[in-house]
A and B are shown apart, each in its own frame.
Chain A
Amino acid sequence: MTWGLERMPEITLLEAINQAMHLEMDRDERVVVVGEDVAKSGGVFRATDGLLQKFGPDRIFDMPLAEGVVVGSSIGLAIAGLVPVAEIQFMGFAHNAFSQIVDQLARVRSRSCGRFHAQVTVRMPYGGGVRTPEFHSDAFEAQFAQAPGLKVVCPSNPRDAKGLLLAAIRDPDPVLFLEPLKGYRLVRGEVPDGDFTTPIGEAAVVRPGRDCTLIAWSAGVQLALRAAEDAAQHGIEVEVIDLRSLVPLDVNTLVKSVMRTGRAVVVQEAPLTAGFAAEVVSTIQEEAFFSLQAPIRRVGAPDAAYPVQLLEEHYIPSPERVLRAIRATLKD
């Protein structure tokens, strides 16, 4: 309906994130950005590029190299009345802030009986496949998903990245905003120029199909789409669901799809045991057991530490492994 009125330029996922921050800092003067190397250098990936020049040194801050206090001080900033957007440079270093995220940030509202809340967004890139040094590639989103009080979103494409980031910053509760490192510059797409939000807690069917439901999030979605393409060559019509939010989880979209297809494969980049795929599988099992025609399969990394660069491609799930799982579930 806004065709012709609103430009829809094709931009990268990283540009979409940058655009969202420019837009929101302009719209809401309470928004401040904190993180390591975010101001002068514009972030190691340039996600915060141009913000210092546009909004000045009272709105964006280069922080000491300490993830815990990046998040911990954001809680205080929020209680003072500001709206911090904190950047953790890589999820692999977020464990240094784990207690401030999980024990503190997530509980501000509940433990204060609602007197205080933490309107804080914590952005962090994650995932492998881009030859970063050790610790930089970890995917432990499931550890955060188990922290009540925290919303966890993980866009896979530029449009959702912008819409979800705007929704996250405006959300009165803390949101962990996980960005697919691999997709930063690789994934391009049309994104409306103006202001819009993507609702947190809504999954999207990104490719329709009737034979099998393939569930993924973040960088896994591109992988899933490739696997679905390959499956189509074999005459298998795969429905791909992009969860977009892990918490809250959109149970309805999952269940509706599986009730139609009767089969499901869940892809995660993390090691298999106790990953978020296990939560998805349990949920489908509880809600759609009698629609299932085959056991649900998971594709993930092995239960081994993330390897150095030369071993990466053997570690994270490949389209071939996903396709094998799809074909196997169709034979079950």
Chain B
Amino acid sequence: MGPFRLAEIPPATRYLSPTGELVGAETPMSDELAIRGLRCMLLGRRFDERSISLQRQGRMVTLAPGIGQEAASVGAAMALNQRIDWIVPQYREIAGQLWHGLPLRVAFLWHMGHPLGFDVPQGVNMLPFQASVAGQIPHAVGLAWGLKLLRTGGSVVTFFGDGATSEGDFHEAANLAGVMKAPVVMVCQNNRWAISTPVEQQTASPTLAQKAVAYGIHGAQCDGNDLFAVYATVQAAVARARAGEGASLIEALTYRLGLHTTADDPTRYVPAGEPAEWQLKDPIVRLQRYLMAKGAITESDLEEIEATVKEELAEAWKEAQHEPSPDPQHFFARGFAEPARRLLRQLDDLGPRADA
């Protein structure tokens, strides 16, 4: 028997160069759809910027921005059918969640520390944010497997980062996804940093996508800062899932242009100059350049998009602020369908009900 062959993953899919030139085949979506994608990416970017600013003013809790990673989440979300497909998020894919129907108001409430920040409205096929790294991946696989058993035709996209691939939950879930041929697309946003740990210290695997080979599932890499590449790659994976061909692990190569969280100081560990290099590969700028060069949008269209994004954010922020403060009695009792008498007595100790 010869030596093991290293798992081979084809080169990362890419449609647009960092400067926005089409480098390959035809784009996988219409200009109209691309403009809608661009707008959603901008909404995510401006939401994060607004949130950081509000956090610095003491009006929001510690939060994890997704600046620089908008194409990775929006491109994946665009490949889904919102009616039957699900998103199971971690916490750095707000932009994609907005595409899939998460109201901006809920995203703001999350950053305010309000319990309703986890209240995904009925009809939106999405689980709440998940702060435990990789903890949601088994849920995504179980959900996908359940959708298959119930013959709903639905698939699941779950997001996580490069650090999550070191967790046992990732391994156990990817393994089960393979065994059960679950219609799940595991989208790893490899943003190169897990807080201060670079991906080279996270794993000795040359790529994260090649881990798929060991699980017997489909693996692919794509340029995570290229909306078209992410969309096409995830779309192909979703098509496989729908055709009964099982699970995929997609590695979207991207970069965390900002902080891990607002409590983090990346200057302590990120090599000087690295962020500047990646600024040149900004997914939003790249798509804008492409669309403008081909005349699909103009400078004034962009201004118009920015203006409506600003308006939408202002409206959602207003709504979030109008949300009444959570009533502790009400929320602590929500652990069970019918709270036990013992719990209700403990809640009485908290003081009178706000609504009494």
Chain A interfacial positions (CB closer than 8 Å to B): 32, 58, 61, 63-64, 66, 68-69, 71-82, 99-100, 103-104, 106-107, 109-117, 148-149, 151, 171-173, 201, 247-249, 251
Contacts and interface: CB of A to CB of B under 8 A. Distances in A.
Nearest to B141: A73
A130 B176 CA distance: 32
Contacts of B132: 99, 103-104
Contacts of B147: 80
Given A77-B146, A80-B143, A68 B138 contact: yes
Contacts, number: 138
B122 interface: yes
B73 interface: no
B149 A112 contact: no
B312 interface: no
Contacts of A114: 334
B135 interface: yes
B168 interface: yes
Given A66-B176, A111-B128, A74 B337 contact: no
Contacts of A251: 341-342
Contacts of B271: none
Interface of B: 88, 115-116, 118-122, 127-128, 132, 135, 137-147, 149-150, 152, 168-169, 172-173, 175-176, 179-180, 331, 334-337, 340-343
Given A72-B172, A73-B176, A112-B127, A149 B335 contact: yes
A69 B169 contact: yes
B127 A79 contact: yes
Tell me what chain B mostly uses at the interface: helix, strand, loop, or mixed. helix
B342 A77 contact: no
Contact of B128 (A69, A77, A99, A112): A112
A106 B168 CA distance: 19
A104 B342 CA distance: 23
B131 to A, nearest CB: 10
B139 A63 contact: no
Given A76-B138, A82-B146, A112-B127, 11 more contacts: A64-B179, A72-B141, A77-B145, A77-B146, A79-B143, A80-B145, A100-B138, A104-B132, A111-B118, A112-B120, A248-B342
A194 B175 CA distance: 40
6 A-B pairs closest in CB distance: A76-B142, A72-B138, A80-B146, A73-B142, A248-B340, A76-B143
A131 B331 CA distance: 45
Contacts of B180: 61
13 contacts: A63-B176, A69-B175, A73-B138, A73-B139, A73-B176, A79-B146, A100-B138, A104-B135, A110-B331, A112-B120, A113-B334, A151-B336, A251-B341
A72 B169 contact: yes
Contacts of B152: 80
A100 B169 contact: yes
B172 A64 contact: yes
A117 B337 contact: yes
B334 A72 contact: no
A77 B150 CA distance: 10
A201 B340 CA distance: 8
Contact of A72 (B116, B120, B139, B331): B139
